[in-house]
Amino acid sequence: MNDQTHLGPKTLFTIYTEDCDREAIIRLVSQEFPSATLRSGIGLWHGKSELSLAIEIIGHESARGAVHSVAGEIKRHNAQEAVLVTEVLLANVSLL
């Protein structure tokens, strides 16, 4: 029996932001997306280190507007000068 579900091509969106209010960020992301992965780390901005979050969301290319909207909400909430959003096309995604 094959327990794989092929989802076809998707886009990996990643929002990079400062990790200064994680619970609020989780709330902002989860209001729009049912699934996401948050990775914490250390980032550099203008030569200074800061705690950072990379928020990964896999979805259709059509989710771009919602991703940018959430990134803007995070930027405002964190009072940041900028947040970074990247997109990577995934040729095939499967749930195992």
**For 9-67, what is each residue's pLDDT tens digit?**
899 999 999 999 999 999 999 999 999 999 999 999 999 999 999 999 999 999 999 99
Report the CATH fold assignment for 9-95.
Answer: Alpha-Beta Plaits (3.30.70)
Give residue 83's Cα distance to chain centre: 11
> Which pTM value belongs to this model?
0.90
E strand intervals along the chain? 5-18, 37-45, 48-59, 84-95
The reported pLDDT for the residue numbered 3 is 66
> What residue segments make up the domains of the chain, in order of their start?
9-95
More confident of the two residues 27 and 5: 27
At residue 1, does pLDDT exceed 50?
no
